[in-house]
A and B are shown apart, each in its own frame.
Chain A
Amino acid sequence: MSDTAIRASSETLLATKAPKRPANMGQILRWLILFLGGIAMIMPIVYMLSTSLKWPHEVYDVNLVPKEPTLDNYRFVLEDGRFYGWFINSLVIATITTICNLFFDSLVGYTLCKFRFPGRYIVFIAILSTLMIPTEMLVIPWYLMSQQFGWLDTYWGIMFPGLMTAFGTFLMKQFFETVPNDFIEAARIDGLNELEIWWTVAMPLVRPALAALAIFVFLGNWTAFIWPLIVTNSVEMYTLPVGLSSFGDEADVAWELIMTGAAISTIPTLVVFLIFQRFIIRGVVMAGLKG
């Protein structure tokens, strides 16, 4: 698909005007079925939230609306303190990783896109080829590395593998193609150095791509499981998914508490999504089709 087609499709995806058709039975039926399907899609999330508001004795009822809603489960889980710490860990790690990706991925993408220099092609192919290497293959060597340098059970240890991604680099490279070279030349004539050109001229022009990348990186790190599971071993250093996993085991049959923990790790991304919905969907399309 060409660039313009992708841009056009991500734009039209959000536009709701289309040729008006008279509502007929077929359309109404289609709407109803899709509506019921959509409700079914969110049922696991709804049940999670509803159970987190139930008293223990009501958990086994299939009713959706709690008879006597309570925030007791949240109070219990948060007073325990661990979830609070895991939440902070996840937030700090996902935020720093996102900022780092935005900076480096766009810097590398920009360099590969706008500079001509010996070695450009080799660097390009080398970074591209890392897309083929699965994380699971690297976790053993990363673990050994972390053990050797004392990175086990530290923020740095959890973060270092994801500070730059080939996916982000290529997404940004694609978008810098849309920045006209004339702008860059003009800035050069005005006496800006290359770093200033990148930061003040090119970066503001690719803001939508930066936002898309930020969403993907943040969500990816917020929900990341296998590497944080391997690299952390003290309870205080767990991220939310790792903490939730260990908490689920420990809580055993206290499903209302497990659902509360699950809700705590899900609500932030859901809220962010509901606020920035159109924006996020556009970002997903851009990242999905271009990256």
Chain B
Amino acid sequence: MYRNLSIRQKQIVWAWAFLAVPVLFYSVIRFYPTGNAILISFQDWNLLGKRTWTGWENYIKLVNDPVFWKVFKNTFVYLILGTPISLVISFVIAYHLDKLRFMHGFLRMLYFLPFMTSAVAMAWVWRWFYQPVPIGLFNNLLASVGIPQIAFLNSTTNALPSVLAPAVWAGLGFQIIIFMAGLRAIPRSYYEAARIDGVSNWTVLWEITIPLLRSTIVFIVVFSSIGFLRIFDHVFNMTTNNPGGPLNATKPLVLMIYESAFTNYDMGYAAAQTVVLFLILLAVSLLQLYLLRDSK
């Protein structure tokens, strides 16, 4: 039978034969669970008992939960601090590193190395750095120059930036590499023309380099925004004694989801939170599509 098919028909058979397992996978492991998560968000369920339909109740509970608003705020503080800080630092490093030849590869390696580490391992390293005297490195260093101790992880105001720091640190290497690739893609002739015209470096930076890096910048902003909105590993590991503490000062949305689902077994409530997370991330992704379309 196969022999009687035309070349085009054979292609169709092959294509679907290749796609059969993947299509099944994406349906069962991606689409069905997505629908299921949305469904569960309208139900009340503690894993053991019955799933009962409750309509919008989980969402109403969420809107009236002060912890949720605290968590919502924290999540956006991670984003609003983390994204610009890492963007500026990585751009400045990439911009200057791009101008250096001497041991260029070695310097690049130093900056990239943290990207290859595991978030959990590094969260524990930083957690140790933050301990009070006589344990933590930072406070020991401060003490050795006579500066009073700083409560990093035990303070409601300092804890969030302290948890954010290793997350920013670990992501820098990737952003620097992407920025350098973007910088190299700018035709040299632009710079040469500017030099002939006697334009200052500062003007070249703002009038040529940054506008031409636009798509790179959009990519990095969106990529890191999504990362900060989904922050979990660092927070969980740096505050295991009191996840998200002190007093929920560091708790991000993903940690609240984890606790609702797997500590309190309130599956419906957790699912409603995941839907909120999904909508936030969707908005960020759509914004990226919009910005990139504009630049072409």
A53 — which chain B residues lie within 8 A by C-beta? Answer: none
Please tell me if A245 contacts chain B, counting CB pairs below 8 Å: yes
Q: Using A13-B184, A140-B271 as known contacts, say yes or no to A117 and B11 having CB atoms under 8 A apart.
A: yes
Please determine whether A34 and B97 come into contact, CB atoms closer than 8 angstroms: yes
Please tell me if B30 contacts chain A, counting CB pairs below 8 Å: yes
Q: Within the complex, which residue of A143, A195, A244, A288 is in contact with B120, where a contact is CB–CB below 8 Å?
A: A244
Nearest-neighbor residue (CB-CB) of A62 within chain B: B140
B26 — which chain A residues lie within 8 A by C-beta? Answer: 126-127, 130, 164
A258 to B238, CA, bound (A): 13
Given contacts A37-B111, A132-B282, 10 further A-B contacts (CB under 8 A): A6-B181, A42-B110, A42-B113, A48-B122, A120-B15, A130-B30, A140-B271, A226-B233, A241-B120, A244-B121
Q: A residues bordering B, Cβ < 8 Å?
A: 1, 5-6, 8-10, 12-13, 16, 18, 20, 23, 27, 30-31, 33-35, 37-39, 41-42, 44-45, 47-48, 51, 59-60, 62, 104, 107-108, 110-111, 115-120, 123, 126-127, 130-134, 136-145, 160-161, 163-164, 194-195, 198, 219, 222-223, 225-226, 230, 240-242, 244-245, 248-249, 253, 255, 258-259, 261-263, 265-266, 269-270, 272-274, 277-278, 281, 284-285, 288-289
Please determine whether A139 and B261 come into contact, CB atoms closer than 8 angstroms: yes
Interface residues on B, range: 35 or more
Type the 1/0 row for B19-37, where 1 means its CB is closer than 8 Å to any CB of A.
1011101100111111011
Please determine whether A111 and B34 come into contact, CB atoms closer than 8 angstroms: no
B134 — which chain A residues lie within 8 A by C-beta? Answer: 60
A120 to B277, CA, bound (A): 30
Q: B residues bordering A, Cβ < 8 Å?
A: 8, 10-12, 14-16, 18-19, 21-23, 25-26, 29-34, 36-37, 40, 93, 96-97, 99-105, 107-122, 124-129, 131, 134-135, 137, 140-141, 144, 166, 169, 172-174, 177-178, 180-182, 184-185, 215-216, 219, 223, 230, 232-233, 236-237, 240-241, 254, 257-258, 261-262, 267, 270-271, 274-275, 277-278, 281-282, 285
Q: Within the complex, which residue of B19, B33, B101, B116 is in contact with A16, where a contact is CB–CB below 8 Å?
A: B101
Q: Using A34-B107, A136-B230 as known contacts, say yes or no to A245 and B181 having CB atoms under 8 A apart.
A: no
A222 — which chain B residues lie within 8 A by C-beta? Answer: 118
Q: Provide 19 A-B residue pairs closer than 8 Å at the C-beta atoms, listed in order of the A residue.
A: A9-B184, A13-B184, A16-B101, A31-B100, A41-B114, A44-B129, A107-B22, A116-B8, A117-B15, A126-B31, A132-B278, A137-B275, A164-B22, A195-B14, A223-B117, A226-B232, A226-B233, A244-B124, A262-B122
- A172 to chain B minimum Cβ distance, whole angstroms, is 12
- A203 to chain B minimum Cβ distance, whole angstroms, is 13
Q: Using A38-B110, A161-B29, A248-B237 as known contacts, say yes or no to A288 and B124 having CB atoms under 8 A apart.
A: no
Q: Within the complex, which residue of A163, A195, A266, A273 is in contact with B25, where a contact is CB–CB below 8 Å?
A: A163
B19 — which chain A residues lie within 8 A by C-beta? Answer: 108, 111, 123
Please determine whether A288 and B219 come into contact, CB atoms closer than 8 angstroms: yes
A115 to B16, CA, bound (A): 10
- B256 to chain A minimum Cβ distance, whole angstroms, is 10
A8 to B281, CA, bound (A): 32
Please determine whether A138 and B37 come into contact, CB atoms closer than 8 angstroms: yes
A263 to B137, CA, bound (A): 17
Please determine whether A138 and B122 come into contact, CB atoms closer than 8 angstroms: no
A143 to B36, CA, bound (A): 12
B15 — which chain A residues lie within 8 A by C-beta? Answer: 111, 115, 117, 120
